[in-house]
Amino acid sequence: MSEAGFSPEQIDTTRPHPARMYDHYLGGKDNYEADRDAADRVLAALPDVGITARSNRDFMHRAVRTVVDSGIRQIIDIGTGIPTSPNTHEVARQVDPEVRVAYVDNDPIVAAYAGAKLTNSGNAGFVLADIRDPEGILDHPVTQELIDFDEPIALMLLAVLHFITDAEDAAGIVRTLTERLPAGSHLVLSHATRDFNDNEGFGKVEKVYNEESTSSAQWRTGDEISGFFKGFELLEPGLVQPPLWRPDGPVPTGESLKRHMGYGGVGVK
């Protein structure tokens, strides 16, 4: 269950894409020269972007285990990015092998990897769609085939909303995505911030994304990010820097903690 058959104009390797830049931050190889060039300039301006990306990935692992431990058996993962093992379904199926996952991304190159790395084990599908079309995601045949909207769902929005500006109505998009989720559903969300570090590099990073990549970037404060959880009750410890969310190992402190430039949280509807 994946999209296939892309025309050359759909696959643009000359313009940086956030999913492939993120892959580079994680040390992956599934990216192109334009992605690496842009990502390296981001890392030169804000070296802690790499640390933040890795801690966000670790947060994902803990959050997925938590929601599946709570009884969730179906997940919509929007902004999947280049598959990096362990992926959402691999983490979830360590708890229950029957968990179903609908992966969503707007990059055709991510879709090209999906069949080999995400959907080949069954009970998983890929939707080539943009978060800016939330109803299109929810109504897509792959989503409808995999996800039962009468049963609790985990909606994952990891490191994706900072690529949706207020002008694009990020709050309205989240509201549309969450209003159809039944009671007991979970929202797993992470977002970049400059709350902990006022480095001048933030402006340089914004310029790279806003002027070169396929998506603009917008930093938000903790209070602004909390607004995305309207209608949800945050699980302990609330909205915190990713390493502080139910850690399963040593926790950074002081200046080391400031290097994690994001928030993560999980809410229950």
Give CA torsion, residues 206, 14, 134, 192, to 10 deg.
-30
Highest mean pLDDT among 21-35, 94-108, 180-194: 180-194
d(CA 44, CA 206): 13
d(CA 24, CA 50): 9
Residues 205 and 46: beta-carbon distance below 8 Å: yes
pLDDT above 90 as % of the chain: 72
What is the mean pLDDT of the segment spanning 227-253? 97
Nearest Cα neighbor of 127 from 31, 135, 242, 229 is: 135
Q: Is the predicted pLDDT of residue 84 greater than 80, yes or no?
A: no
d(CA 226, CA 64): 20
Pick the residue with more confidence: 45 or 121?
Answer: 45
Q: Is the predicted pLDDT of residue 5 greater than 70, yes or no?
A: no
The model's confidence at residue 11, banded by pLDDT at 50, 70 and 90, is low
Angle at Cα 40 formed by Cα 37 and Cα 46, nearest 5°?
Answer: 145
Residues 87 and 61: beta-carbon distance below 8 Å: no
Pick the residue with more confidence: 65 or 116?
Answer: 65
What pLDDT is attached to residue 22?
87
Q: Is the predicted pLDDT of residue 7 greater than 70, yes or no?
A: no
The model's confidence at residue 116, banded by pLDDT at 50, 70 and 90, is low
Q: Is the predicted pLDDT of residue 92 greater than 90, yes or no?
A: yes
The rounded mean pLDDT for the chain is 91
Q: Is 125 helix (H, G, I), strand (E, B) or coil?
A: strand
* Each residue's pLDDT tens digit, 247-262: 999 999 999 999 999 9
* Each residue's pLDDT tens digit, 127-149: 999 999 999 999 999 999 999 99
Q: Is 158 helix (H, G, I), strand (E, B) or coil?
A: strand
Element containing residue 248 per DSSP (H, E): none
Residue labelled with tokens 């390493």 = 243
Q: Is the predicted pLDDT of residue 62 greater than 60, yes or no?
A: yes
What is the mean pLDDT of the segment spanning 220-241? 98
* Each residue's pLDDT tens digit, 12-60: 778 888 888 888 998 888 888 999 999 999 999 999 999 999 999 999 9
52: left (phi over 0), alpha (psi -120 to 50) or beta: alpha
Nearest Cα neighbor of 156 from 205, 223, 102 is: 102
Q: Is the predicted pLDDT of residue 113 greater than 80, yes or no?
A: no
Q: Is the predicted pLDDT of residue 73 greater than 90, yes or no?
A: yes
Residues 260 and 243: beta-carbon distance below 8 Å: yes
The model's confidence at residue 1, banded by pLDDT at 50, 70 and 90, is very low
Pick the residue with more confidence: 114 or 197?
Answer: 197
